[in-house]
């Protein structure tokens, strides 16, 4: 596997939206196989870092699904959308500006706290189990447009999660990885147990 050929393949694999908003970056010094920092609102380009020395230890299908899953995750993070959290942030920011102009220290503190609370809720909602599971399921849908069956894609992503843990010398999967793995087993027809809604929505 040559790095340039692999990057070309991965770019071709991505949906058009993923190519527009993500950048693949070789990072041989990182200890993880693939990583992407949490997308921030003032950075529209989402960078995905890959250690290609570790990456080559995955099979073709595992690499495909792992990349599609990461692209789906970074593409699914939304800071600007019409909901109550964004309304709280906007109200807090406007209130802070008004109180600063009025030189009201208590008002500035309260309005700033309101904005911080709204931002914390947005952060929390973007890191929930539901967002993680939706990224897996979105990756599987994209893979189906690239010639994989639903079962094949789910199985490849499940194997990738387990293989990455081995490559990174982790003795066990974390809580979110366990939830994701069970959901993928259900999609791959390896288990009849599906993830209940109350677990999907936990952080």
The answer to whether 8 and 33 are in contact (CB under 8 A) is no
What whole-number distance in Å separates Cα of residue 199 and Cα of residue 84? 22
Q: How high is the pLDDT of residue 76?
A: 81
102: which DSSP letter? T
Q: What are the tokens at 61?
A: 């299908």
Quick: pLDDT tens for 112-151: 564 555 555 555 555 678 889 999 999 999 999 999 999 9
Q: What is the DSSP letter of 195?
A: P
**Which secondary-structure segment (H or E) carries 49?**
strand 46-50
Largest CA distance in the chain: 63
Q: What share of the chain is helix, strand, coil (3-state, %, to 5)?
A: 65, 5, 30
End-to-end CA distance of the chain: 37
- pLDDT at position 82 is 46
pLDDT confidence of residue 89: 46
**pLDDT confidence band for 65 (50 / 70 / 90):** very high
* Percent of all residues in the chain with a pLDDT value above 70, rounded to a whole number: 74
Phi, psi of 168 (to 5 degrees): -85, 5
pLDDT computed for residue 7 by the predictor: 96
Instruction: Using a cut of 0.75, tell me whether the model's pTM lies above it.
Output: yes
Nearest to 88 by CA among 52, 50, 56, 117: 117
Residue 196 DSSP SS3? coil
Q: Give the integer Cα–Cα distance in Å for 99 and 15.
A: 45
């Amino acid at each position: 596997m040559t790095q340039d050929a692999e990057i070309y393949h991965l770019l071709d694999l991505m949906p058009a939206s993923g190519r527009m908003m993500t950048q693949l970056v070789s990072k041989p010094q990182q200890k993880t196989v693939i990583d992407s920092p949490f997308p921030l609102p003032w950075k529209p380009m989402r960078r995905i870092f890959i250690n290609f020395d570790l990456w080559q230890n995955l099979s073709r299908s595992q690499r495909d699904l792992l990349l599609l899953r990461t692209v789906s995750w970074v593409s699914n993070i939304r800071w600007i959308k019409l909901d109550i959290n964004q309304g709280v942030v906007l109200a807090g920011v406007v209130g802070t500006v008004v109180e600063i102009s009025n030189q009201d220290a208590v008002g500035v503190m309260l309005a700033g706290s309101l904005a911080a609370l709204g931002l914390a809720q947005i952060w929390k909602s973007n890191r929930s189990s539901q967002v993680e599971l939706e990224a897996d399921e979105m990756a599987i849908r994209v893979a189906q447009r690239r010639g994989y069956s639903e079962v094949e894609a789910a199985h490849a992503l499940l194997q990738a999660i387990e293989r990455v843990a081995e490559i990174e010398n982790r003795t066990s999967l974390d809580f979110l990885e366990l939830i994701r793995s069970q959901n993928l087993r259900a999609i791959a027809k390896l288990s009849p147990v599906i993830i209940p809604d109350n677990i999907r929505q936990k952080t």
